[in-house]
């Protein structure tokens, strides 16, 4: 028997092939024999840069201030935003920090638009945004319901929190409940020194913050078929766009914040921009699911891969919006969050880990792909 | 008989009295009537002899004949004639399974069952195995053979240590590896971690393991990678070779053809 | 104790919004209790679909049609306080799969059930950790299903049923004082929904069952509205009650019922039904009427269940077209 003979093919139905030889199965789809004249497609039938069909629906959950259901292929995320009040009297450090730093910060917020709002730190310092993602919903086998959040769930929650903070999506001003202190004496003759001496929680213009809205952003992944982050983030975004906060004021008689139930008086959040996440993974023909002995290819190997590429023999594929199967077969991940302003793409977050295949050139292409995705998802979010 | 059989049944649906049919898989008997216990196509297996009754069952497998024109792209999965319906999707005694080796010890190898093939494959145990078992088990796909479902979940067991907890575990004991020279079996020369093995279930075993045997010519390692990481091909009943390096490695090889 | 594995809000905690209208004396001039527009034996429509979660062996999504008041509030929103709510839940079935290593040998299928509310599912924010009522629901659901599954066909394996409730039913009208209804009536509606959805998901997973078990709720209510119309405030039997629509629910009953066998696998009856002699000509005891009512409600749910499971069977039978 010649040693160059190909291994006898074990004929398996596709479902068993997919299960036994996942790497070879995906590779066979991506690089079909030239004779077959078939296009290079992923096992799920998508082009490498193709995202799954996405749909969004908002406002269907009764007990939320805002809610959304986003389906990206077979991954479904449900997000509910619930607003509760945090009276400043409950904040232990409030009177101290407020008295020392409040005065001049107020001046900037009223003058400039909220974009230059120096008080954004309130959101982070006071934990006004509380996102939590749950995978313990039976969304996929392997996540035990009732168990504490898995590492993946914790990591996703923190990624969402980080993104909420870094994009400054929610304006702190939207979350404040102000109170105009009735002036007792003459107007404006109370200077700053006097106020600080008294140590009272009163401002030079007689306005003070009585409470903050805290937004509990809970994401339930109902069905998980890969790329939970994109779906979860889209759901958060859609739910926040749907969120309405009731008009709230300080009721001096009852000494509490009360709200109006009138829908007409409620206000929507004015979000900053529309950051949209796109995730990718890298599938390699050679990596053979971790069997590679050498972790980093040397220069020659790399050259060979590039040469092959030029000759039309693709050795690695960057797959957009990977499904669960593809995620399991790739080590390298890229996550881009982009926004577009006046035709220009702004990179809000770029994260890449687990490999060496994606370099500057590929990243540029991915940013373009993410920008296209931004356009299509924007339409979907605006229509829901 | 008053009622005709429905094409599709749902659990709790009365199908026929026991006087006219025998109850097969996917059904149960209550008050001398056969009821469906799963949702699916109703099948009638004609009796093997004149005296016996035909067997009524509800199929767990997709009904191939139901969609004659619908599968132009999948000619090879079209089984000739009605398939033998699967009783359920669990490994049972005599089922042929494909499993991945997860641990090799001195006296036994631990494997994780990936696919349960149709037990009908074991019917011709006595005779010589014709082209065989590598083939589609007569459309006998279980629920989890749905491609859509497979693609939605993580594929690669090497990356996910916990996925083995979701698969049924089995042991191949040293004495069950091959039929001859049982006392000279060295487990390391039979299986390596990561190999795909075809075996048949000999017992349901204890609470955590099934017991498999590979003591037949058609059973043993069907897929293996060499130490260099290349897929090997079989060269004899106890040796496989790496096509790149040419190195040979010892295995209990399943006869490929 | 803070939960280190989750993102916690402000350490001092937060308070739900208090609406000005609820501070005023409870004259009820501004808002009125939602009225039941359905006939006493008319059920809300149930939306039930199987197979939406492909990574599970079986799945079902269930939604109740919003009550008239909620539907009206949805179409032309006036108040931020929802008058009522409508059940929405997702159910998945995973398995049969190996039992955990610590488990002892079982010749049968071992069923585990798990019911969890999403934090935003109810009027009061729910915690992330299961509370007693959620555990209670899980136990009730398990007993309801255990009698249906043919467990001996699946030796030494486990079946895991997980239900996530996205929107629960109200326990009472929000305008009522918290103690006006003593029991959490909404839970019973939730249980009925869980049973029906789990039944569909199990059938979708093709686990052998004796029948499609369905859940149904009936309650004996006494309403002011009835009294005003002159006919003295006799308690009435209603099917599929929305607790927000009734001033006082005297007792309620939920059953898990198998129509083909006329058997009940789970029954949960709460409240005082001794007073409820339903009309002069009705000599039947309160609880019998109540159980019969719940069975009728379950029969109604069963018709929806049949359609959903047939659809699952058709989808499955036609699978060969996509299987390549």
Given a cut of 90, whether residue B253 has pLDDT beyond it is yes
The answer to whether the beta carbons of residues B252 and A4 sit under 8 Å apart is no
For the CA atoms of B243, B244, B248, B254, the dihedral, rounded to the nearest 10 degrees, stands at: -30
pLDDT confidence bin for B149, thresholds 50/70/90: low
- Residues on chain B touching A20 (C-beta within 8 angstroms): 98, 114-115, 196, 223
Q: What is the DSSP letter of B204?
A: -
- Residues on chain A touching C80 (C-beta within 8 angstroms): 244, 246, 259-263, 266
For B75, phi and psi rounded to 5 degrees? -70, -30
Mean of the per-residue pLDDT values of chain C = 86
Domain ranges of chain C: 40-77+84-314
- Mean pLDDT score, A19-35: 84
Question: What are the Cα distances from residue C133, in Å, to A62, B177, C254?
Answer: 21, 52, 15
Residue C142 CA to residue C162 CA, distance in Å, equals 11
- Mean pLDDT score, A251-257: 90
pLDDT confidence bin for B77, thresholds 50/70/90: very low
Calculate what percentage of chain B has a pLDDT beyond 70: 69
The residues, ordered by sequence, that sit 6+ positions from B101 with a Cβ below 8 Å of its Cβ are: B109, B110, B111, B191, B192, B193, B194, B195, B196, B197
pLDDT confidence bin for A96, thresholds 50/70/90: low
- Residues on chain C touching B113 (C-beta within 8 angstroms): none
The answer to whether the beta carbons of residues C51 and C315 sit under 8 Å apart is yes
Measured at the CA of A300, the angle between CA A298 and CA A301, to 5 degrees, comes to: 70
Secondary structure (H, E, C), C284-317: CCHHHHHHHHHHHHHHHHHHHHHHHHHHHHHHHH
Whether the CB of B184 is below 8 Å from some CB of chain A: the reply is no
pLDDT confidence bin for A229, thresholds 50/70/90: very high
Query: Which residue on chain A is closest to C12 by alpha carbon?
Result: A90
Residues pairing with A334 in the sheet: A280, A352
Mean of the per-residue pLDDT values of chain A = 83
Q: pLDDT (tens digit, 9 = 90+) per residue, A167-207?
A: 999 999 999 999 988 876 555 444 444 444 444 444 456 78
Sign of CA dihedral C90, C96, C97, C102: positive
Residue A375 CA to residue A339 CA, distance in Å, equals 10
Residue C4 CA to residue B235 CA, distance in Å, equals 56
In this predicted structure, which of A220-234, B54-68, B93-107, C120-134 has the lowest mean pLDDT? B54-68
Contact B165/A14, CB-based, under 8 Å? no
pLDDT at C322: 39
- Mean pLDDT score, A303-324: 80
Residue B187 CA to residue B197 CA, distance in Å, equals 14
Q: What is the DSSP letter of A233?
A: H
pLDDT at B136: 30
Q: Please, is A140 exposed, middle or buried when counting C-beta atoms within 10 Å of its C-beta (0-12, 13-18, 19+)?
A: buried
pLDDT at C171: 86
Given a cut of 70, whether residue A379 has pLDDT beyond it is yes
- Residues on chain A touching C54 (C-beta within 8 angstroms): 74, 223, 225
User: What pTM was computed for the model?
Assistant: 0.87
Given a cut of 80, whether residue C167 has pLDDT beyond it is yes
Q: Check residues C221 and A212 and name the one with the higher pLDDT.
A: A212
Q: Side by side, which strands form the sheet with C46-50?
A: C46-50, C58-64, C88-98, C157-167, C109-117
In this predicted structure, which of A29-38, B246-255, C107-116, C297-306 has the lowest mean pLDDT? A29-38
What's the complex ipTM? 0.91
Interface test mutation site (partner A, options B141, B153, B158, max chain A beta carbons within 10 A): B153
pLDDT at A291: 46
- Mean pLDDT score, A282-288: 74
Residue C120 CA to residue B183 CA, distance in Å, equals 64
For chain A, the 3-state helix, strand and coil shares in percent, each to the nearest 5, are 35, 25, 35
In this predicted structure, which of A76-80, A376-380, C313-317 has the lowest mean pLDDT? C313-317
Q: pLDDT (tens digit, 9 = 90+) per residue, C64-79?
A: 999 888 888 888 888 8
- Residues on chain C touching A261 (C-beta within 8 angstroms): 19-21, 79-81
Q: pLDDT (tens digit, 9 = 90+) per residue, A44-80?
A: 999 999 999 999 999 999 999 999 999 999 999 999 9
Helices (H) and strands (E) in chain B, counts: 1, 16
- Mean pLDDT score, C247-272: 92
The answer to whether the beta carbons of residues A283 and A319 sit under 8 Å apart is yes
pLDDT at A296: 57
Residue C55 CA to residue B150 CA, distance in Å, equals 7
In this predicted structure, which of A173-187, A237-251, B16-30, C255-269 has the lowest mean pLDDT? A173-187
> How many CB pairs below 8 Å do chains A and C form together?
189
Number of other residues whose CB lies within 10 A of the CB of residue A262: 16
Q: pLDDT (tens digit, 9 = 90+) per residue, C113-136?
A: 999 999 999 998 999 999 999 999
Pick the CATH number of C40-77+84-314 from 3.40.50.720, 3.30.499.10, 3.30.230.70, 3.40.50.620: 3.30.230.70
The answer to whether the beta carbons of residues A206 and A227 sit under 8 Å apart is no
Residues present in chain A in total:
384
Q: Check residues A150 and A297 and name the one with the higher pLDDT.
A: A150
Sign of CA dihedral B17, B21, B27, B30: positive
pLDDT confidence bin for A25, thresholds 50/70/90: confident
Calculate what percentage of chain C has a pLDDT beyond 90: 57
Query: Which residue on chain C is closest to B77 by alpha carbon?
Result: C324
pLDDT at A112: 46
Closest CA to C51 of C317, C318, C256, C313: C313
Contact A12/B231, CB-based, under 8 Å? no
Q: Check residues C280 and A27 and name the one with the higher pLDDT.
A: A27
Given a cut of 90, whether residue B230 has pLDDT beyond it is no
pLDDT at C1: 55
pLDDT at B222: 92
Given a cut of 70, whether residue A254 has pLDDT beyond it is yes
- Mean pLDDT score, A283-306: 63
Rounded to the nearest 10 degrees, what angle do helices C186-204 and C132-146 cross at?
A: 50
pLDDT at C103: 85
């Amino acid at each position: 028997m010649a040693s160059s003979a190909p291994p006898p093919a074990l004929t398996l139905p596709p479902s068993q092939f997919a299960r036994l030889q996942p790497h070879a199965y995906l590779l066979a789809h991506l690089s079909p024999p030239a004779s077959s004249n078939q296009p290079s497609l992923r096992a799920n039938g998508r082009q490498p840069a193709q995202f799954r069909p996405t749909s969004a629906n908002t406002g269907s959950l009764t007990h939320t201030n805002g809610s959304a259901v986003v389906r990206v292929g077979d991954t479904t995320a449900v997000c509910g935003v619930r607003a509760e009040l945090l009276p400043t009297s409950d904040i232990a450090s409030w009177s101290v920090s407020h008295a020392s730093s409040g005065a001049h910060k107020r001046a900037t917020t009223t003058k400039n638009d909220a974009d230059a709002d120096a008080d954004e730190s309130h959101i982070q310092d006071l934990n006004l945004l509380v996102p939590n993602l749950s995978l313990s919903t039976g969304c996929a086998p392997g996540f035990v319901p009732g168990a504490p959040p898995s590492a993946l769930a914790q990591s996703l929650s923190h990624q969402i929190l980080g993104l909420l903070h870094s994009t400054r999506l929610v304006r702190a001003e939207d979350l404040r409940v102000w109170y105009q202190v009735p002036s007792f004496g003459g107007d404006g003759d109370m200077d700053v020194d006097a106020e600080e001496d008294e140590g009272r929680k009163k401002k030079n213009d007689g306005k003070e913050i009585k409470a903050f809205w805290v937004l509990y952003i809970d994401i339930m992944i109902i069905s998980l078929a890969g790329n939970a982050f994109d779906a979860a983030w889209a759901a958060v975004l859609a739910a926040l766009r749907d969120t309405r906060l009731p008009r709230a004021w300080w009721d001096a008689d009852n000494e509490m914040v009360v709200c109006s139930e009138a829908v007409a008086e409620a206000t929507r959040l004015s979000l900053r921009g529309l950051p949209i996440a796109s995730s990718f993974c890298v599938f390699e023909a050679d990596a053979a699911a971790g069997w590679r002995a050498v972790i980093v290819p040397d220069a020659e190997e790399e050259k060979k891969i590039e040469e092959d590429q030029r000759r039309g023999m693709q050795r690695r594929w960057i797959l957009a919006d990977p499904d669960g199967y593809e995620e399991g077969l790739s080590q390298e991940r890229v996550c881009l969050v982009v926004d577009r302003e006046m035709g220009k793409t702004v990179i809000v977050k770029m994260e890449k880990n687990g490999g060496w295949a994606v370099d500057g050139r590929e990243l540029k292409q991915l940013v373009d792909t993410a920008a296209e995705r931004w356009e299509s998802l924007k339409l979907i979010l605006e229509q829901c | 008989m008053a009622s005709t059989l429905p094409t599709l049944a749902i659990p709790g649906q009365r199908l026929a009295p026991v006087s006219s049919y025998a109850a097969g898989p996917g059904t149960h008997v209550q008050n001398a009537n056969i009821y469906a216990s799963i949702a699916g196509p109703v099948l009638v297996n004609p009796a093997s002899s004149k005296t016996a009754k035909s067997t009524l069952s509800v199929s767990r497998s997709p009904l191939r004949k139901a969609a004659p024109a619908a599968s132009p792209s999948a000619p090879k999965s079209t089984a000739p004639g009605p398939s033998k319906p699967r009783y359920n999707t669990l490994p049972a005694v005599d089922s042929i399974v494909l499993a991945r080796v997860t641990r090799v010890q001195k006296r036994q190898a631990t494997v994780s069952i990936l696919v349960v093939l149709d037990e009908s494959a074991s019917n011709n145990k006595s005779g010589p195995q014709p082209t065989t078992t590598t083939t589609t088990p007569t459309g006998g796909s279980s629920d989890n053979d749905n491609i859509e479902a497979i693609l939605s979940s993580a594929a690669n067991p090497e990356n996910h240590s916990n996925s083995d907890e979701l698969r049924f575990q089995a042991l191949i004991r040293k004495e069950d590896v091959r039929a001859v020279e049982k006392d000279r079996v060295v487990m390391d020369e039979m299986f390596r971690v990561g190999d795909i093995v075809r075996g048949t279930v000999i017992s349901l075993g204890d609470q955590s393991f099934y017991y498999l045997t590979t003591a037949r010519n058609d059973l043993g390692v069907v897929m293996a990678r060499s130490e260099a990481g290349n897929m090997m091909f079989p060269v004899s009943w106890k040796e496989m070779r790496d096509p790149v390096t040419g190195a040979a490695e010892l295995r209990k090889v399943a006869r490929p053809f | 104790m803070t939960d280190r594995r989750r993102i916690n809000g402000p350490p001092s905690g937060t308070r739900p919004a208090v609406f000005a209208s609820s501070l005023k004396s409870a004259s009820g001039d501004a808002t009125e209790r939602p009225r039941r527009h359905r006939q006493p034996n008319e059920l809300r429509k149930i939306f039930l679909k199987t197979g939406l979660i492909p990574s599970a062996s079986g799945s079902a999504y269930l939604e109740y049609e919003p009550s008239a008041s909620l539907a009206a509030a949805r179409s032309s929103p006036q108040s931020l306080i929802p008058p009522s709510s409508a059940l929405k839940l997702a159910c998945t079935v995973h398995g049969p799969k190996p039992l955990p290593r610590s488990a002892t040998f079982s010749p049968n299928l071992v069923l585990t059930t798990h019911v969890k509310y999403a934090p935003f599912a109810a009027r009061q924010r729910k915690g992330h950790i299961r509370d007693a009522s959620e555990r209670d629901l899980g136990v009730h659901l398990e007993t309801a299903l255990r009698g249906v599954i043919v467990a001996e066909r699946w030796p030494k394996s486990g079946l895991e049923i997980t239900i996530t409730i996205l929107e629960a039913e109200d326990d009472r009208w929000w305008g009522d004082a918290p103690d006006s209804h003593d029991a959490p009536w909404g839970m019973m509606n939730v249980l009925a929904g869980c049973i029906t959805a789990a039944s569909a998901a199990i059938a979708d997973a093709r686990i052998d069952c004796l029948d499609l078990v369905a859940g149904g709720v009936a309650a004996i209510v006494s309403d002011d509205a009835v009294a005003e119309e002159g006919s003295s405030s006799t308690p009435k039997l209603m099917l599929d009650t929305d607790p927000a629509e009734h001033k006082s629910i005297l007792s309620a009953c939920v059953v898990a019922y198998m129509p083909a066998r006329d058997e009940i696998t789970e029954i949960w009856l709460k409240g005082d039904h001794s007073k409820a002699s339903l009309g002069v000509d009705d000599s039947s005891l309160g609880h019998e009427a109540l159980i019969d009512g719940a069975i009728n409600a379950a029969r109604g749910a069963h018709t929806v269940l049949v359609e959903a499971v047939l659809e699952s069977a058709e989808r499955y039978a036609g699978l060969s077209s996509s299987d390549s």
